[in-house]
Structure 1
Amino acid sequence: MDKIKTSYYRVDAPIRLKDVPTLTNLNASDDQLKDRLSDIRRKIGKLQDVLYAHGKYSVLVCFQGMDTAGKDSLIREVFKDFNSRGVVVHSFKTPTSIQKKQDYLWRHYIALPARGKFGVFNRSHYENVLVTRVHPEYILGEHLPGVDSVEDITDAFWHERFEQIKAFERHLAQNGTIIFKFFLHLSKEEQKNRLLRRLRLEEKNWKFSPDDLKERTLWDKYQQYYEEAINITSTDHAPWYIIPADNKKAARTIVADIMYDELKERKDIKYPVLGEEVRAKLDVYKKQLHHE
């Protein structure tokens, strides 16, 4: 099995999505990938326990990708060995009427993980510069001052919004949030296969919507805007990782490996040490319990 190098997937320089592969099997069988994932997620689970005890950092994991990219199943499999109290998953769909009365980042702010916990965003604040760029009419629902028609949504508007998102992430990082942003890079052909599977298998029918086919016709626009968003907002403190997503098992393994690789380097995250006075009396406390 190939060694997974975090730097290979991290965006440290401008990329073109069409030049980035959507498929890898890491030269491993399905069983090998399954075993590797099982091993690495147990290790991340242990790190989560230390993170919780340490209590000074939180971890935010964002997943973006086209429909059928495998976000749901990846989240289910990668975080399977976590203590359920230490991870919270949020799925961001169309904003509610209440959310539309706030600024577009508000619903993401209130979903952020507390110190010591992991927060997983299934789709994220990037929907506000992806779906809304493909469908700029959605912006009108935000009731922004000075934006009365689609013609008011200029390049300057999007530039400002990217700057706001970068400032949001910088603020989080400066206050102890470790940020991972994963783009599940799916090929158009593989999406077609997965949509057909949803139509073919009765137990998968519920996942299908005619809107999936409408959005598919806008594939090139989505790829363009994903590419721009990734290039503009991949930073040292909040890097993007582009994950080949045509092979779901490999994608899950790569994501888990990257998180473990990065988190284990945080040497300051460790179990708290008991105060000297308490440590000096540990034997006393043991005797007290034994002689109850």
Structure 2
Amino acid sequence: MTAVLPERLVIDQPGVYDLDEVTYFADPVPTGSLSASGAKLLLPPSCPALFRYAADNPPKTKRVFDLGHAAHKLVLGVGAELVAVDADNWLTKKAKEAAAEARAEGKIPLLAREVAQVKAMAAAIRRNPLASKLLDPAHGKPEQSIFWHDRQAGIWRRARLDWLPEPGRGRFVIPDYKTAQSANPADFAKAVHTYRYHLQDRWYRDAAQAVDLADDPLFVFIVQMKEPPYLVTTVQLDAETQRVGRELAEQAMATFRDCSEVGYWPGFADDDIPEISLPSWAIRQHDNS
């Protein structure tokens, strides 16, 4: 199921690849490939120019993502090593130096209480009957990368799955682990819109189908609260939400193909002078003053 990597990594054949995160995000497809996260950057309120800049200038690790990355490490079993920093906060010089040293070594610095937090989160996942089954290490692999050429779209695409289940065990279910402030399905529905998770739904289904892992894969989100009691909820998107995700994905793929062909990645309004207006609330505020 997993392709063998050549000595000099160039991916020009579709398949499942066991790559480290740095190699995946560097995009080893010679002509370039599009990921779900890249697709989101191509669409409003972003623009192709911002996508191109992000692709050429990988962002630095941000402190705000450390907890989520650490939770992924303990829940999925792969990722950067965690380093516990013996401090109450990050304000002291000693704590800042310890964090900088850890990052320089490719590790994730966490306060001691945060290490305890992510361990409690991982334990809650293992206690959850559905999530623990979907992420069973005996029947799947974490952080697997899929590359394929989409002939209809005319581009190469890629996806990095949190978890790739073992085929042949009932319906093929692809789980994606998300940490959130709330595991309430109604709250997560808002996050789906904000972060365009419905585009990701379409992307990962396409990935599984493209490399013949499943004809009709199911994609679900395992959502976990970052605060006690670390509740876990597994959700799937309804047909209408999936439709919107498909249309967004198709729009992004067409934009990527067209921009790649001409080598031009436009900004917000390169060829026009848009007319803008104040927000309606600002006009009402002015009229009522």
Q: TM-score range by the shorter chain?
A: under 0.3
User: Whose RCO is larger (CA < 8 A, sep 6+)?
Assistant: 1
TM-score normalised by length of structure 2: 0.22
Q: Which structure carries more helix by proportion?
A: 1
Greater share of strand residues, 1 or 2? 2
